[in-house]
């Protein structure tokens, strides 16, 4: 699911107003008061990566939500010595990763690498905690939104894997009695 309607503001992400304009486009902030979005904008960070540069590494501490403004990234998982492509993230499709890092501490269970030059806006877990402490009335709605988006992504990834699973790997469900 694309969290952004328009990504033409990437050059403005160096300013508070540019970050604010971008964040206000996101469905996550649809019902969020402007004062709260301003805090997200103030505490967010613009990041830039060059093509083929690693963004996060599997096994390292996960620490932020990343919103891809421009470019494309590959999400891959190393499994039994092989790298598997899980998803490509771009502004035209799913344009974010790391949403669960806002809610819990864990290590990245995938790696992310820039396929092209990439510009992102990130929100750290610490920034999210500060904002939720200041505006606790937003916590339940925000958590619900993050969980729903993660379930949508899980369904999308599961469908892709099942659509591309070799016939001999299929395991039928047990018959009903």
Q: What's the pLDDT tens digit per position in 60-78?
A: 999 999 999 899 999 999 9
Number of H helices, E strands in the chain: 4, 8
| Boundaries of every domain in the chain | 10-124+135-160
Name 41's bridge partners.
none
Instruction: Let me know if 72 is exposed, middle or buried by CB neighbors in 10 A (0-12, 13-18, 19+).
Output: middle
Cα dist. 133→24, 97, 141, 161 in Å? Answer: 21, 23, 14, 39
Task: Calculate the average pLDDT of the chain.
Answer: 86
The residue count for the chain: 177
Q: What number of other Cβ atoms are within 10 A of residue 155's Cβ?
A: 10
- Look at residues 53, 42, 36, 65 and name the one whose alpha carbon lies nearest to residue 132: 36
Residue 1 banded pLDDT, cuts 50, 70, 90: very low
Q: Is the pTM of this model over 0.75?
A: yes
Summarize the confidence of residues 128-153 as an average pLDDT. Answer: 89
CA gap 130, 40 in Å, rounded: 10
Residue 119 has pLDDT above 50, yes or no: yes
For 124, the token pair is: 């750290």
Residue 50 has pLDDT above 60, yes or no: yes
Summarize the confidence of residues 16-35 as an average pLDDT. Answer: 83
Residue 52 has pLDDT above 70, yes or no: yes
Residue predicted with more confidence, 134 or 86: 134
CA gap 16, 18 in Å, rounded: 5
Residue 10's pLDDT is what? 47
Return the percentage of the chain with pLDDT > 90, whole number: 47
Residue 51 has pLDDT above 80, yes or no: yes
Residue predicted with more confidence, 152 or 91: 152
Residue 91's pLDDT is what? 79
Fold for the domain defined by 10-124+135-160: Jelly Rolls (2.60.120)
Check if the beta carbon of residue 58 is closer than 8 Å to that of residue 75: no
Residue 6's pLDDT is what? 41
Residue 5 has pLDDT above 70, yes or no: no
Residue 101's pLDDT is what? 94
């Amino acid at each position: 699911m694309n969290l952004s309607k328009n990504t033409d503001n990437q050059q403005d992400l160096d300013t508070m107003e540019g970050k604010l304009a971008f964040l206000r486009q996101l469905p996550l902030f649809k019902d969020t008061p402007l004062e709260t979005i301003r805090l997200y904008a103030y505490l967010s960070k613009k990041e830039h990566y060059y093509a083929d540069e690693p963004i996060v590494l599997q096994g390292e501490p996960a620490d932020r939500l990343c919103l891809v403004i421009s470019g494309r990234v590959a999400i891959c998982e190393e499994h039994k010595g092989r790298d598997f492509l899980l998803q490509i993230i771009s502004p035209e499709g799913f344009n974010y990763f790391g949403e669960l890092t806002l809610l819990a501490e864990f290590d990245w269970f995938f790696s992310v690498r820039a396929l092209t030059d990439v510009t992102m806006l990130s929100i750290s877990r610490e920034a999210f905690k500060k904002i939720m402490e200041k505006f606790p009335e937003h916590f339940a709605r925000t958590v619900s939104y993050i969980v729903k988006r993660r379930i949508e992504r899980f369904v999308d990834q599961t469908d892709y894997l099942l659509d591309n699973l070799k016939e001999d790997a299929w395991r039928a469900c047990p018959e009903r009695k």
